[in-house]
Structure 1
Amino acid sequence: MAAMTPTPTPNDEASSNDETPSAAGPAVAARHGDRDRQEPAARTPRRLRPRSRPRVWRGAVLALAGAYFVLPLLASFVFTVHVPGQGISFEAYTQLLSAEGFTESLLLSLGLAAATIAASLLLAVPALVAVRIGSPRLRPVVEVMCMMPLVVPPIALVTGITTVLRWGPEHLSRTPLYQTFLAVQNPDFPVVLVLAYTVLALPFVYRSLDAGLRAVDVPTLVEAARSCGASWPYVVLRVILPNLRAALAGAGFLTLALVLGEFTIASLLGFQPFAVWIVSISGAHARMSVAVSVLSLLITWLLLLLLSRAGTTPTTVSAGPSRGSGTSRTSRTSRSSRTSRTSGKES
């Protein structure tokens, strides 16, 4: 009889497959172990490199921006205090208060800035709140109207203003409006500059207030206040405006910077605010004019810090009546008792 060979069963095949890797030797296992050890080490630098690059670029960009703003300021300051052949002298700063026209021009510019801020906010705040609450479809129209002064050159604006001012002596000399035309051109406080600066400041005021209104749910606040019986003046003054303090501060600062640095309109109309006075003394007193420019820049930065703090100061809510406080204490006591009872039942 021929020798019969045993047929392999499935269990034998499985056992042979399980024994194959171990029989292949420890080389394969060593390769897998080395690969597992090398993968974390290779992945770690890839994750850390992209994080370190933005920090380096961020610091470089900030350093370049700081140098761009600080170096001209330092150069201007050195020019005001360094006199060739004499050394360091602060004469340009000590003679400012006694300079002719300095106090008058500065007070005039600050008064014009205050009036312009008030006029621009009185125009922009009610209009934007009404558009935000009642008719959002009119927002593009209001935006285009407020952004129009950015397109119109100041020379064209001055030409239009002078054309209108000529109507007084030419056509209205025998009417009561003639005195109005003379009053708006008073050199002590030219109202015509306030009107012109209000038009120029509308784009900046609009952008600042629009950003503040978008960050606040104005319709919900107004509806809640009106449902509690609040009047519209109360809603605007006590509900909406406190939520727009940062936007109002930004609009006020931008308007202040615009008025202090505006030269074209005031010079062509024949008035002498602060910027026109600086240019007028630059020929005879170069160091003094640069010193005034440096001081005006520092004052503007100081006002920026004050306005930013005023816009970010948290509001203080007054304490309610004793009845409300007692109710709150009772509710807290009841909550604590319920919690203790629940914990006792669970235990």
Structure 2
Amino acid sequence: MKQSKIGSWIAVIVGTLYFIVPLICTFEFSLRMRRGEYSFDAYRVVFSDPSFQATFLYSTLMGLITIVIGIVLVVPTAYFIQLRLPKLRPVVEFITLLPLVMPAIVIVFGYLRLYNSSSWIPMTANARTTDLLLAFSYVTLALPYMYRAVETGMRAIDVRTLTEAAEILGAKLPTILFKVIFPNVRVAILSGAFLTFAIVIGEFTMASLLNRPAFGPYLQLIGANRAYEPSALAILAFLITWACMGLINVFGRARQLKRAT
């Protein structure tokens, strides 16, 4: 038993060092912009850069749009699969896994061939429609995570009983979805939303090929031309991702405590 515990602790320590040490070194390097002393000059330069503000704001907006589209698409699909079409679950799961095995560059090139300015749906003809195409691309990219999160939440509740009870009380389908199902899978939806936001903030390929002013291409541009600012941006990107993971954990625990009481 003691040897087993020692081995477990060694594995945990090695794994922690594997992730923490490079992050500490990156943070330490980001503080060296001022010669001979540590400072937060790199972070000050990054935050004062108008391009940083514009690209981060753009990606944040695109993340919110992607989350809304993803929720509207995934929640009703998972609901009907759980309630009326359980035999289609393997097919839908296979379809939602495709973005994981298909490179993002292949997906975006397919979009460009299908929706270029000379096609019957010219979504790249102007900036607004290209933004919409980028949002759809992000929805595709985040689909495996959003669907898994929502589908897991659906399995944790008795969808059939809730639906039948709502129908007995005279509720229509929109009321059932928005006032019965959504509140019961709120934590699952938030988990998928935070994962989607983390993906959108750091995505590079789709935004770059569609020529949109997103945060991912900005990270690549700074990394190719600066020394200390890329390290500061890397730390900020890690903090955003960890904040999303932390919020998922917080909401998940809050839901468990509410159920326990």
Q: What's the RMSD between the two structures over aligned residues?
A: 2.4
- Correspondence 1:191 to 2:141: no
Report deviation, 1:82: 2.4
Q: Which residue of 2 aligns with 1:297?
A: 238
Distance between the aligned counterparts of 1:160 and 1:135, measured in 2? 30
Code of the aligned partner of 2:138: Y
Aligned match of 2:100: 150
**Equivalent position of 2:22 in the other structure:** 72
* Alignment correspondent of 2:75: 125
Q: Match for 1:288 among 226, 229, 240?
A: 229
Could you tell me which of 38, 48, 71 is aligned with 1:98? 48
SS in 1 for 2:46: coil
The structure that has the greater radius of gyration is 1
Structure 2 unaligned blocks of 5 or more: none
Query: Contact 2:33 / 2:42 at 8 angstroms: preserved in 1?
Result: no
Once the two structures are overlaid, the 10-residue window that deviates more, 306-315 or 288-297, is: 306-315
How far residue 165 of structure 1 moved from its aligned partner, in angstroms, is 3.3
Cross-structure match for 1:81: 31
Aligned to 1:5: none
Out of 144, 160, 170, which is 1:203 matched to?
144
Shift of 1:101: 0.4
Contact 2:33/2:41 (8 A) holds in 1: no
Identity %, equivalent residues: 33
1:141 match? 91
- Give the Å deviation of 1:313: 3.1
Deviation at 1:221, TM superposition (A): 2.0
Deviation at 1:206, TM superposition (A): 1.4
1:98-151 deviation line (CA, Å, top 9, x unaligned): 224010000011011111111111111101101111121111121122112222
Partners in 1 of 2:119 and 2:197 — Cα distance? 36
For 1:101-120, list aligned pairs within 5 A: 101-120=51-70
Q: CA deviation at 1:58?
A: 2.7
Shift of 1:282: 1.9
Q: Secondary structure at the match of 1:229?
A: coil
Q: Secondary structure at the match of 1:101?
A: helix
Larger RCO (CA under 8 A, 6+ residues apart) = 2
Contact 2:145 2:196 (8 Å CA) reproduced = yes
Say how many residue pairs are matched.
258
> Equivalent residue of 1:93, what SS?
helix
Q: Note closer, same or farther for the CA distance 1:297–1:171 as it changes in structure 2 (3 Å cut).
A: closer
- Structure 2 distance, partners of 1:293, 1:68, is 17
Cα pair 1:249 1:308 within 8 Å, conserved: no
Residue 310 (structure 1) aligned with residue 260 (structure 2)? no
Q: Distance in 2 between matches of 1:103 and 1:206?
A: 31
Cα 1:83–1:281 shift into 2, 3 Å: closer
Tell me which amino acid in the other structure corresponds to 2:201.
L
Shift of 1:311: 4.3
Deviation at 1:155, TM superposition (A): 1.9
TM-score, normalising length from structure 1? 0.68
Shift of 1:258: 1.0
Secondary structure of 2:212's aligned partner: coil
- 1:83 Cα offset (Å): 4.7
Matches of residues 253-272 of structure 1 in structure 2 within 5 Å?
253-272=194-213
Distance in 2 (alpha carbons) for counterparts of 1:81 and 1:301:
21
The one-letter code matched in structure 2 to 1:138 is L
* CA distance, structure 1, for counterparts of residue 227 and residue 53 of structure 2: 18
Structure 1: gaps spanning 5 or more residues: 1-49, 317-347
Q: Residues 124 and 81 (structure 1 numbering): CA distance in 2 closer, same or farther, change over 3 Å?
A: same
CA displacement at 1:192 relative to structure 2: 1.4
